[in-house]
A and B are shown apart, each in its own frame.
Chain A
């Protein structure tokens, strides 16, 4: 079992819709969780970090953490074509999921 699991996608959503990405992890004592966005051919860039159970909002992005169920999710509201990218979940900084590719269709 991989430490961090993500659905590879692709996840296709219409412009203006909500994109929902999920990530599960195996290490029950994990403390820090991150979401990165990676455009094709580019390096990952940090978009969200979360440490406590519940929701954390930053602009159109909301991260949700449930430590009891060992999952973290990312919601992208009012999706734009510029959100089309691969989204990587990272746990405890060192472990990354394989990423979910999101395509926002106009």
Chain B
């Protein structure tokens, strides 16, 4: 059981470069999420997809785009990376039922120099 798989685990980008973070889940979950985690600030929601074919902005969407490619995959794209986007990024998924909470991926540690 892989659960939620994120790639890559580590990445260093130069300011202005672009990249896509990949996320896939094999639990047949309807909802998927992208969070960033910074020291002292907890998890902040970037974008989420309540179901296949829908995406919505979270608390900190500026500088990011997402694609819900199919039910399994939800990618996060940085079009022009900035040092302020240095963070640990977590993908998560959940069923639509409220009592199950999230399953998180292992995270991507991104540094923008």
Interface on A for B, CB 8 Å cutoff?
4, 8, 31-32, 34, 36, 42-46, 49, 51, 88, 90, 93-99
Contacts and interface: CB of A to CB of B under 8 A. Distances in A.
A43 B6 CA distance: 11
A51 B99 contact: yes
B107 A43 contact: yes
Given A97-B42, A98-B40, A99-B42, A45 B99 contact: no
B102 A46 contact: yes
Contact of B43 (A42, A49, A88): A88
Contact of B90 (A4, A43, A46): A43
A49 B105 CA distance: 19
Given A32-B99, A98-B40, 6 more contacts: A36-B101, A36-B102, A42-B107, A43-B107, A93-B98, A95-B45
A8 B43 CA distance: 14
B2 interface: no
B74 interface: no
A90 B41 CA distance: 13
Contacts of B107: 42-43
A94 B104 contact: no
A36 B101 CA distance: 9
A102 to B, nearest CB: 15
Contact of B101 (A8, A34, A42, A97): A34
